[in-house]
Chains A and B, each alone.
Chain A
Amino acid sequence: MSITLGGVAAAPDLPDVLPPRRERGRIMRFTVRHPTIVAGGLLLGIMVFIAVFAPWLGTRDPEAISPIYRLRDPQAAYWFGTDMLGRDVYSRVLYGSRVSLGVGFSVAVLASVIGMAIGVVSGFVRWLDMLLMRVMDGLMSIPGILLAIALMALTRGSVSNVVVAITIPQVPQVARLVRGVVLTLREQPFVEAAVASGTRLPKILIKHIVPNTTAALTVQATYICASAMVIEAILSFIGAGTPPTIPSWGNIMAEGRALWQIKPYIVFFPAVFLSITVLAVNLLGDGLRDALDPRLAKRL
């Protein structure tokens, strides 16, 4: 059967040949299209490399005290100088990156997983939604740093407690974001089509809902990672974070604070590292936000 509609003949069924995918030059094209991802990724890659290989990058024991060599300016033996106990600032900054990156990544992953779970449940179970969202509202009404300080005051200082204390104030943001996305997704025809074709709820969540929240969630996770690193530094700086025995950028800056006017490099170097790392993560997040939506990616 062949029909005409309103005088327009049905277009002949053309051989539906799709253009072949271009495989060559993909890295180049990616760099040109997403410069922020590449820049952020490279910077962050360098930081991760430094954190992982800190012991092999010409460092010495970051804890070793040598009072004879204290407060030396940067020089060949001590690239970033030494602090008031004669500890090597270069080694402490490099080892400190382990704390910052570790806390940043852990908080991002933990907050995403917990927030995702709460958000999906909220979006799908209407009677729990009210309850969960009021709890989230309550958490959001307290400034994140204050809440983290309060949580740290209740517990012993350790890196894992710092992670928990920073994660809790971040969870509501993720939960709200995921809930919003889930509420939109569950009304989408492709979810209804899945229901009509006999897909069970757990599979709908895993195959149709969760994968479509990851774009928004990944972007949010990078921002959480960046702010977690800053909050860790703040907590350590005011003495409510990483225990002073572990070198972290916040600790190093806190210890160097009193000597800022005569030996500024003690504060300067960890601050520069913190800024670069946070910048890298934020660049990555901005780039991902633009790139991750497959519908937006179609525009070229």
Chain B
Amino acid sequence: MSAHLLEVNALVKHFPLRGGLFGTRRGVVHAVDGVSFHIDRGETLSVVGESGCGKSTVGRTVLRLLDPTSGEVWLGGERIDNLPARRLRPLRRRMQVVFQDPFSSLNPRLSVGEIIAEPIVNFGLASGAELKDRVAGLMDKVQLPRDAIKRLPHEFSGGQRQRIGIARALAPGADIIVCDEAVSALDVSVKAQIVNLLADLQDELGLALLFISHDLAIVEHLTHRVAVMYLGKIVEMADRRTLFAAPHHPYTRALLSAVPVPDPTVKRQRVILKGDVPSPINPPSGCRFHTRCPFAFDRCRSEEPLLRERAPGQISACHLDAVPAAA
């Protein structure tokens, strides 16, 4: 259908909320509510937002670890959101995942070699001596020592474990890797190593990355385009330069102004949001951001703004054409 490697159209994921004696439906968590984006070969799209905005759910639904409530997911021209498990399995080879927690994302009972070999064996890509060569090659690629192959995950540090996770994701020769907060649990220096590794691998292998993160400083160094999510919706999406230099949506501005600058002499105008993220069980009417937006007016409370192009390669969902610099 499309030339894009991954295309997501109006993706929705609702979680029914059950409770009480008979497990009756008490409500619906609107985790993801109509999200659309695409990623091309060799491109990085970052999805950023606060905790609970649905960015991880997007990743897990795209991977079909969760079944979407509605919407479409196309991978390499094939629609995968409604495929039965049997037909989906061969396509999983093309899309892999690196998780946030380097401790729980590796089976403590399998050796590093077994962990990396698993996807290769699953897809019948190699066996015997060839399998060993491949595993060794992958370990070189992520800069793990070769003698690590027989060791168990608990013998490694967080950064090294994350390298094991990356090697596993690379193993089946994926085209796109979903990095679900892949560096958030690491120390700053290790974080930089892993980000560099991901960037190098992207250059070398032409990987596409769906990089889910709340850390804008990391995102700015790694990404080509950024999608900003708030309460299950994308509120702004733009290429990196535009988003960081000329953000349109008030929420994006607030996020950017919260990024620390390592220079005490820089004076900045901070946009500090009031209150907490509203509940995704009963999202606000109209624009979901109106409860916290410093520029909200009547229309925002009743009418939901649509994503509109503001500049080439920049779309934003706000009723204001020109958002004032500060409230």
Contact = CB atoms under 8 A, between A and B. Distances in A.
A2 B95 CA distance: 26
Contacts of B93: 198
A192 B61 CA distance: 12
Contacts of B108: 212, 294-295
Contacts of A207: 107, 110, 118
B10 interface: no
Nearest to B145: A16
Contacts of B104: 188-190
B145 A17 contact: yes
B298 interface: no
Interface string B89-125: 1101101110111001111111000000011001100
B217 to A, nearest CB: 6
A192 B119 CA distance: 13
A2 B203 CA distance: 13
Interface string A187-224: 01110111111111001000110011000000000000
B312 interface: no
Contact residues on B (Cβ < 8 Å of other chain), bracket: 35 or more
B189 A8 contact: yes
Interface residues of A, number: 37
B192 interface: yes
A13 B168 contact: no
A188 B100 CA distance: 12
A4 interface: yes
Contacts of A208: 107
A58 to B, nearest CB: 46
B101 A197 contact: no
B155 interface: yes
A2 B97 contact: no
Interface in B156-188: 160, 165, 168-169, 171-172, 188
B126 interface: no
B39 to A, nearest CB: 17
Contact of B193 (A6, A10, A194, A203): A10
Interface string B67-100: 0000000000000000000000110110111011
Contacts of B151: 18
A7 to B, nearest CB: 4
Nearest to A8: B188
A23 to B, nearest CB: 14
A104 to B, nearest CB: 27
A8 B147 CA distance: 30
A198 B172 contact: yes
Nearest to B143: A13
Interface string A64-103: 0000000000000000000000000000000000000000
B253 to A, nearest CB: 20
B109 A212 contact: yes
B256 interface: no
A9 interface: yes
Given A1-B200, A3-B196, A198-B123, A212 B218 contact: no
Contact of B171 (A8, A10, A197, A199): A197
Nearest to A2: B196
Interface of B: 60, 63, 65, 89-90, 92-93, 95-97, 99-101, 104-110, 118-119, 122-123, 143-145, 147-148, 151-152, 154-155, 160, 165, 168-169, 171-172, 188-193, 195-196, 199-200, 203, 217-218, 221, 260, 262
Interface of A: 1-11, 13, 15-18, 188-190, 192-200, 203, 207-208, 211-212, 294-295, 297-298
5 contacts: A1-B203, A5-B217, A10-B196, A189-B100, A294-B152
